[in-house]
Structure 1
Amino acid sequence: MAKQNGSHDDGNEDMMHAPNGTDYGTVDRTPSTYTSLSTYQLPKGEHRHYQQQYADMYFARLAQIKPAVESIASDAWADFHIGGEKATRKERVLDVRQGELCFVIGTVYMEMPLKPNVLEDIGKEHWIAAPPPRVKYDLGAGQGDSEHGAHAGGGKGLPGTQVMLEDESGRLRLTGSYLQGGLLVTGAIVAVIGTENSDGDFEVLDLRVPDLPRQPPRWETEDGVAALQGKGASKKRNKAGKVAIVSGLGFSGDEGDTLSLDMLMEYLLGESADPESQEVASNISRLIIAGNSLSHGAPIPSREEMAAVAKKVGRKTYGYDSSSYNAAPTDRLDQWIATLLPSLPITLLPGEQDPTSTSLPQQPVHAAMFPHSRAYMSQPTTNESAGWFDSTTNPAEFNVDGWRCLATGGQPVDDVYKYLPDCEERLEMMEAMLRWRLTAPTAPDTLWCYPFQDGDQFVLKECPHVYIVGNQPKFETVVIEGPLGQQVRLIAAPKFKETGELVLLDCETLVPELVKFEVFDEG
């Protein structure tokens, strides 16, 4: 590391001279206040069941969100008239009558040509070739129109693509040019106003969503009543620092694949760059790792990976092949985290490629995977909400310096992307998900999830101040506002392995900045 102070007469004396007695000051890391919330924790042991029907989850979601949608729709359409006829409220979708102006609330269901269908998959032979990866669930823009087909990404209707509204009574097919201007996916709860046409389809004239829920004041969790009464913090707090956000670290077993990761570690520890950069690093109060810390740690390998292993080691009827197991990625991640932990607290979210449950909400990566780092975790026998090292769920909710944060590893947004043929803007999808009050709207239709019975845990009960989505194509950020003055900072964090980018979020202003690490190839 370069010297910060001191002067020497010539280059020869730089290397060998007596200590000059200069007192080099120490730099202390800015502390942070952190509270982990157990919003997405699943029941333990025998209390976790998978016998439930997924239909109950849709009905529970509709029951939870319906009052909010009904309130917004009733206010918006209280004076809605067409030709002297006033719109009436229908309790069920099957109560809609032809030619009658009305509005109704239900769950959106998208019928799309390339969307996976588990019943069709079960009916097919197991030996057929796997279909190519589906980037989108439609057939591609510009391939024609259909009489009733209308997709939610804007543009023309597509063959076989239909939008329907359903509740416990049945389904109603939606049509109309209004659907082409907004974002809709399976699982969203909406209110639509219009009339049924002669074909039995509902012509949509307008649409309303639940919008952002209540946003708690800063420090509400920590200060309770004082925060709710607007009295501010119950005690004097120091100025907050910055939170580092990274995703897609992609640890692998390959040699020479850790140079950029080593640079990131040295930057976070303040062991590299000039004194000014070290001062910036000292203001980093916590590191958030938002999914895909490993390159190939998923519990269920892809069909291509299974075929490659079978070709290499021969057919196996049961068990696993110990010769193909590689512990190096997990060990290197553990060593990397353990090096940071004495100086920097860490929150770790699992991702699609990490060794934990595949279905959402993914449960924390087990402490057994971190023999060097688990000493910094909270012990199961204590009442601590989170340790210095918080291995949490995906999605996850937590408070950092009083701000409520919602973070995911990226799978819900990636799946929503497949429903929208003409939309590439990830921030628009993130905003839509918040306004739908759903962290994973397409679960369980096209996104694996736990079959919730009593209530859908993916329903947002309180609006976050910061919404972080990892493993996105590029870094993007924006601030959105709600009807009651809510403000949410959206952050799309890129994959570090591909971009070398780290996001720093100022916990006083909620303004992010980007730090990029580059490795130059001399060849």
Structure 2
Amino acid sequence: MSQETENIERTTAEYKNLSEKFTTQCADYNRQYCSIYLARLKEMEALLMERITKKWGDRFPICKLHKLAEVSYDKCVVIGTIFKDQKLKPSILKQLAEANQLTPQPVLHHFTDETDRLFLEDELQRYQLLGTLDVKKLVTGVTCALLGSDMGNGKFMVEDCVFADCRPQIEKPIFNEDVFVVFVSAMNFIKHENFISNLELFAYWLCGMVGDGDTVSRIARIVIAGNSIKTTTEKHIPTISLTSRVTESTETIEAVKSFDYFLLQLSELVDVDVMPGEHDPSNHILPQKPMHYCMFPKSSVYKSLNQVSNPYFFSLDGLKIFGTSGQPVRDIKWFSEVTDPLDALESCLKWNHIAPTAPDTLGCFPYYEKDPFILDDCPHVFFAGNQEEFGTRMVTGSDGQKIRLISIPEFCNTFQAVMLNLKDLGCDTIDFDTSK
């Protein structure tokens, strides 16, 4: 090794984990899930009032849904939560019937239909929505304010709408030199023998052994965005038992050991954040707690290894980065006509909610005081892991916020990682395909 290579020092950046609200879940399961929607509506009402004033001023009265039948406004504004009625939405009763071969069903991964209808709900009332709202682009759980007229018989004609939109954003910190963060997802170690050479190339590249040592030395952090152990789950017959438990297979245990050794290699070189994914050994419902250190006895001795939550919010030298392992984006794509994960991410910013379909079709903890999935401030980078392909876009919020959106591809299928430059938020992939 040359003297020049020996003297290269890795770039560092001041790190802060801002994900506390995702790791302090209340374990009270005695309440109904409807309380989440009430907590969400209560928090979002104040944000929506700001948008109502900004867009319509005081030209139209604001009316509660249950009061519509008692007043005679030509036009008014109502606030509530969208419910999307979908006949193709999965049902546990249908799954049980299928398991007992009573009514076989085709396997679906897209649940929209021409008969889908939108409703608006608040604490006491539900109204069917007609008019200008795009049924195909919305999902259950989105909170909004609607301008329109009561048509009678529980129907409301919508003329215009506003969403909470992006929260205020601090000014992007200035970086005088390049500082990189590498994102990777779906390493799928249960099948890693099929692409072990690609994983080795990734580790060698990070060591600076395949050239471009100056660029590699400017990598301050690696974020592994879920599904590191496996990308699919074993098929089990649906059950109504509340005490059912699935024992992890020997394959999974061996995959965790292999992943631990891989993390050991990375942690010797750079700070690594490991997020759990849908199929990783963590709690299944959101927010997912950090995977336990006892599963990684070799790598966990390094302070550079950080087991973090999903969703994950952190900052580097003041630049705020937020993302998930992809479940909310996948769910939005399943229950709407949105097909591009970047469009789903942009919609989440517009709705100011990172997981609107929870708890309707996406599992989450039964919160009843505060909804943790509401964005309190606007990040500079917003990412989603475990997507089919890489994508990126810079979007601008209603108050001039600039956000870099990133769709992180599955490494086990694309052999790609994503490298983000904090200096200018430039973003591109690094390819580790050894067959080329």
Does the TM-score normalized on the shorter chain lie above 0.5? yes
Contact 1:503-1:515 within 8 A present in 2 as well = yes
Where does residue 433 of structure 1 map in the other structure? 348
Which of residues 169, 177, 180 in structure 2 aligns to 1:242?
180
User: Deviation per CA, 1:180-225, whole angstroms, max 9, x where unpaired?
Assistant: 3873111111111111225542111111101101113456xxxxxx
Q: Distance in 2 between matches of 1:431 and 1:164?
A: 23
Q: Which runs of 5+ in 1 are unaligned?
A: 5-21, 81-86, 140-157, 220-231, 307-316, 378-387
* 1:165 and 2:120 aligned: yes
* 1:53 and 2:32 aligned: yes
Q: Distance in 1 between matches of 2:5 and 2:394?
A: 41
Q: Distance in 2 between matches of 1:181 and 1:362?
A: 30
User: Deviation per CA, 1:111-162, whole angstroms, max 9, x where unpaired?
Assistant: 00111245x45985862477443321123xxxxxxxxxxxxxxxxxx12x11
| Greater radius of gyration (CA) | 1
- Give SS of 1:89's match: coil
* 1:408 and 2:324 aligned: yes
Q: Against the structure 1 CA distance between its residues 345 and 297, is the aligned structure 2 distance closer, same or farther, given a 3 Å change threshold?
A: farther
Q: Distance in 2 between matches of 1:286 and 1:483?
A: 31
User: Deviation per CA, 1:301-360, whole angstroms, max 9, x where unpaired?
Assistant: 4327x9xxxxxxxxxx99877875542211111100101112110011111111100000
Q: Distance in 2 between matches of 1:294 and 1:267?
A: 22
Contact 1:297-1:355 within 8 A present in 2 as well = no
Q: Deviation of residue 491 (structure 1)? A: 0.6
User: Superposition pairs for residues 136-147 of structure 1, below 5 Å?
Assistant: 136-139=110-113
Q: Against the structure 1 CA distance between its residues 23 and 341, is the aligned structure 2 distance closer, same or farther, given a 3 Å change threshold?
A: closer
* 1:359 and 2:285 aligned: yes
Where does residue 106 of structure 1 map in the other structure? 80
* 1:91 and 2:64 aligned: yes
* 1:474 and 2:412 aligned: no
Which of residues 211, 221, 230 in structure 1 aligns to 2:165?
211
Q: Against the structure 1 CA distance between its residues 192 and 372, is the aligned structure 2 distance closer, same or farther, given a 3 Å change threshold?
A: same
Q: Distance in 1 between matches of 2:97 and 2:72?
A: 40
Contact 1:247-1:290 within 8 A present in 2 as well = yes
Q: Distance in 2 between matches of 1:321 and 1:439?
A: 31
Q: Distance in 2 between matches of 1:216 and 1:286?
A: 22
Where does residue 264 of structure 2 map in the other structure? 338
Q: Deviation of residue 498 (structure 1)? A: 0.7
Where does residue 140 of structure 2 map in the other structure? 186
Q: Against the structure 1 CA distance between its residues 319 and 40, is the aligned structure 2 distance closer, same or farther, given a 3 Å change threshold?
A: closer
Q: Against the structure 1 CA distance between its residues 338 and 186, is the aligned structure 2 distance closer, same or farther, given a 3 Å change threshold?
A: same
Q: Deviation of residue 244 (structure 1)? A: 0.6
Q: Against the structure 1 CA distance between its residues 475 and 319, is the aligned structure 2 distance closer, same or farther, given a 3 Å change threshold?
A: closer
Contact 2:278-2:325 within 8 A present in 1 as well = yes
Where does residue 255 of structure 1 map in the other structure? 193
Contact 2:149-2:157 within 8 A present in 1 as well = yes
Q: Distance in 2 between matches of 1:23 and 1:239?
A: 20
Q: What RMSD in Å do the two structures reach over aligned CA positions?
A: 2.8
Q: TM-score, normalised by structure 2?
A: 0.91
Where does residue 31 of structure 1 map in the other structure? 12
Q: Against the structure 1 CA distance between its residues 163 and 94, is the aligned structure 2 distance closer, same or farther, given a 3 Å change threshold?
A: farther
User: Deviation per CA, 1:41-96, whole angstroms, max 9, x where unpaired?
Assistant: 3447xx6221121111100000001111122123312376xxxxxx3221335525
- Give SS of 1:179's match: coil
Where does residue 396 of structure 1 map in the other structure? 312
* 1:267 and 2:183 aligned: no
Identity %: 30
Which structure has more relative contact order (CA 8 Å, sep 6+)? It is 2
Contact 2:186-2:231 within 8 A present in 1 as well = no
- Give SS of 1:257's match: helix
Q: Distance in 2 between matches of 1:442 and 1:323?
A: 31
Where does residue 310 of structure 1 map in the other structure? none
Contact 2:329-2:345 within 8 A present in 1 as well = yes
Where does residue 422 of structure 2 map in the other structure? 507
Q: Against the structure 1 CA distance between its residues 266 and 67, is the aligned structure 2 distance closer, same or farther, given a 3 Å change threshold?
A: same
Aligned length: 431
Bigger shift: residues 190-199 or 480-489? 190-199
- Give SS of 2:190's match: coil
Q: Which runs of 5+ in 2 are unaligned?
A: none
